[in-house]
Structure 1
Amino acid sequence: MFEFVWPYAFFAIPLLWLVERFSQSQQSQQAEQLLNTSLPYTQQQAELDKPNSPLKQSLRWAIWLLCLTALARPVWLDDQVQGINEQGRDLLLSVDMSSSMQIKDMQLDGEAVDRLTALKYLLKEFIEQRRGDRLGMILFADHAYLSSPLSFDVDSLLVQVDELVHGLVGDRTAIGEGIGLGIKQLMNHPAEQRILILLTDGQNTSGAVEPIQAAEMAAKSQVVIYTIGVGADEFYQQTLFGTRKVNPSQDLDEQLLQEIAGMTGGKYYRARSTDELAQIYQEIGALNPMSEAQQYYRPQYELYYWPLSLLTLLLLAALIGPLLSQRFSREAQ
């Protein structure tokens, strides 16, 4: 649909008529003096030099109308598109990037993969389903770092998840800092609900903030923390003496994760496989459904450059036309 953003600009159309009327007498006197000179004039020149000639009047009105049309900002509105609810939830992902995330005890499409690879695959599916919430991501290992600030730009967050690699931020596990930095980010934006999803496969071994202290701060700030312990309970390891069964999640501090979730009104989940991790994401999504209130917007395309382009051509014609006319008249003489 075509419309003008500032249609009131067209109220200025009569201004040109008023200016012409009040200056008409002065222009007539100047034209008479010019016509009485001894310089040779062709009929075309005389027509152009007349202040009220139809050609000049048409040119002035065309330029004036094009100026007002550009000033009124013509736009083309595309079809209505469903937007986002800016008063929705703030959901922050705090992801463990320690060296233990390299353990290949997860299955993805029938193949053994490391924990980070499985996490990235399922995390992207969860993010895709949260369009409309403000999402962000924190990475923690030796310390916690903000990878993606809270934003409605889900596509940028998906790119960030794709680029996660082992050893990006260290080898140890700073759970307390992962929570503390999350609280700081969530408190910078007003929201109906603030959610922190903490994913780890170990225990707190680094950082300047104790996890329990960070959880107490989260509870005071009304931040709900869902903790997820990642890693299988059984893993068959190949050795020189054959295959032996080990527990790759023996360092997982489940008691700590349960306490953090309980203090903040969240819940602790145990993800021993990719199927369990996928079910956990679905349950968290069900506990925190998307808000039904939606905003709508219409893509808007500016068209003011069209009247401006035509205006430029007319101005060039007004400047070049008299020069060409004088040149032709001289050649004719």
Structure 2
Amino acid sequence: MWKFEFPWLFVLLPLPLFVWWLIPAYRTTAAAIRMPFFREMAEAAGEQPAPGGVRLRRNWLQRLLLPLLWSLLVLAAAKPVYVEAPIIEEAPARDLMLAIDLSGSMATRDFVNQAGERMDRLSAVKQVVADFITKRTRDRIGLVVFGDAAYPQAPLTLDHDSVQILLNQMQIGMAGPRTALGDAIGLTVKLMADSTAEEKVLILLTDGNDTSSAIPPERAAEIAKSHKLVVHTIGIGDPNTSGEDKVDLAALAQIASITGGRAFRALGQQQELAAVYATLDALTPQKIKREIYRPQRDYFWLPLAAALSLFTLYHVLAWLLSLLRAPHRATASSTAPTTTPHQADHGN
């Protein structure tokens, strides 16, 4: 798209017409005497008379060139620019907090990887979450761990390498043996209170039911909803297990429903857990497009260069023509009637 930075300068286009119309041409008169025998007098005195004045006349090329040059100069002063396509930046669309259960039941070796090897639940979670973090290059990501209580492990940051390091340092039981789901949600609300992201998301992963929260999970979910925090829940482990280690899928589904999130389950296969995170990756697209600026290229030099080239070309051609006409003028002057210099310069 083309535009002019200073379009108001086009009002100067008719300026030469106003100057020609309002300001008269400079004229002067002087006395002159015609002397038919001037050349003979000069030769008798041993003098060489200088050539007389020449009255300059405009030619058709000048009449065409002068308005064109003025138009090109005004065009250059108006500064034409070409506005290119906008530069789009894919900026972070949301803040993601990952809350991971580190209770003692996460040591249960009931997950099977792609090689068919058994592994504990936390090891399976670490591998899948690490891959998930790697893909979310534009989102701020933080970590919360919970057991008897909830603790911030990594603040919201774009430094995903640091998040990966802190993820690898997680150990089973480091937050206590029990499960505090409500506290994990409440802590996330507090950590995201100052977030200006368009969307705030918590991915809550646990293999047990709530046993030690100071605030009931359902109440924590309502508080999260009031702060526009969407909670997706992932239940892992065997729901048929009895006691505190039994994952309460119904409670997790209710938490997700209150906040507008989704509830998932991954039982025994690492591929199942990876599929859950792949679904979450699709549910929370990581980038939004935002126009940063539109590059502009200045082209004022084009009309300026054209004007300078035409001006130079005209004068070069005029100089060449004067060289070609010089012998003819010398011949014509030798046969023309002689006049005084004043007569040639100013006329009668």
Normalising by structure 2, what TM-score? 0.55
Of 196, 215, 226, the match for 1:209: 215
Of 115, 122, 129, the match for 2:128: 122
Determine the structure 1 residue equivalent to 2:155: 149
1:168 offset after TM fit, Å? Answer: 1.1
1:228 offset after TM fit, Å? Answer: 0.3
Determine the structure 2 residue equivalent to 1:220: 226
Determine the structure 2 residue equivalent to 1:252: 247
Describe the shift of the 1:249–1:187 C-alpha distance in structure 2 as closer, same or farther (beyond 3 A): same
Determine the structure 1 residue equivalent to 2:280: 284
Determine the structure 2 residue equivalent to 1:179: 185
1:154 offset after TM fit, Å? Answer: 0.7
1:275 offset after TM fit, Å? Answer: 1.1
Cα distance in 2 between the residues matched to 1:159 and 1:83: 32
- Higher-Rg member (1/2): 2
Q: What pairs with 1:1-333 in structure 2 (closer than 5 Å)?
A: 87-108=92-113, 109-232=115-238, 251-272=246-267, 273-293=269-289
Cα distance in 2 between the residues matched to 1:249 and 1:104: 17
2:182–2:220 contact (8 Å) kept in structure 1: yes
2:99–2:145 contact (8 Å) kept in structure 1: yes
% identical equivalent positions: 39
**Which whole-Å deviations, capped at 9, do the CAs of 1:24-44 have from their partners, x for residues lacking one?**
xxxxxxxxxxxxxxxxxxxxx
Determine the structure 1 residue equivalent to 2:304: none
What runs of 5+ residues in structure 2 fail to find an aligned partner? 1-86, 293-348
Cα distance in 2 between the residues matched to 1:84 and 1:164: 34
Cα distance in 1 between the residues matched to 2:202 and 2:133: 13
Cα distance in 1 between the residues matched to 2:229 and 2:211: 23
Residue identity opposite 1:90 in structure 2: D
Residue identity opposite 1:270 in structure 2: R
2:132–2:277 contact (8 Å) kept in structure 1: yes
Cα distance in 2 between the residues matched to 1:87 and 1:111: 37
SS in 2 for 1:293: strand
1:232–1:271 contact (8 Å) kept in structure 2: no
SS in 1 for 2:279: helix
1:87 offset after TM fit, Å? Answer: 4.8
Describe the shift of the 1:230–1:83 C-alpha distance in structure 2 as closer, same or farther (beyond 3 A): farther
**Quick check: 172-181 or 158-167, which moved more?**
158-167
| Segments ≥4 residues shifted beyond 6 Å | 246-250
2:209–2:245 contact (8 Å) kept in structure 1: no
1:177–1:207 contact (8 Å) kept in structure 2: yes
1:232–1:249 contact (8 Å) kept in structure 2: no
Describe the shift of the 1:217–1:292 C-alpha distance in structure 2 as closer, same or farther (beyond 3 A): closer
Residue identity opposite 2:250 in structure 1: Q
**Quick check: 246-255 or 258-267, which moved more?**
246-255
Describe the shift of the 1:99–1:219 C-alpha distance in structure 2 as closer, same or farther (beyond 3 A): same
**Which whole-Å deviations, capped at 9, do the CAs of 1:117-151 have from their partners, x for residues lacking one?**
00001010000011100100000001000000001
1:293 offset after TM fit, Å? Answer: 2.4
Describe the shift of the 1:295–1:95 C-alpha distance in structure 2 as closer, same or farther (beyond 3 A): farther
Residue identity opposite 2:102 in structure 1: M
Residue identity opposite 2:167 in structure 1: V
Cα distance in 2 between the residues matched to 1:247 and 1:172: 15
Normalising by structure 1, what TM-score? 0.58
SS in 1 for 2:128: helix
Root-mean-square deviation over aligned CA pairs: 2.3
Cα distance in 2 between the residues matched to 1:111 and 1:212: 37
What runs of 5+ residues in structure 1 fail to find an aligned partner? 1-81, 235-245, 297-333
2:99–2:144 contact (8 Å) kept in structure 1: yes
Describe the shift of the 1:84–1:170 C-alpha distance in structure 2 as closer, same or farther (beyond 3 A): farther
Cα distance in 2 between the residues matched to 1:186 and 1:87: 15
Cα distance in 2 between the residues matched to 1:174 and 1:283: 25
Cα distance in 2 between the residues matched to 1:140 and 1:83: 39
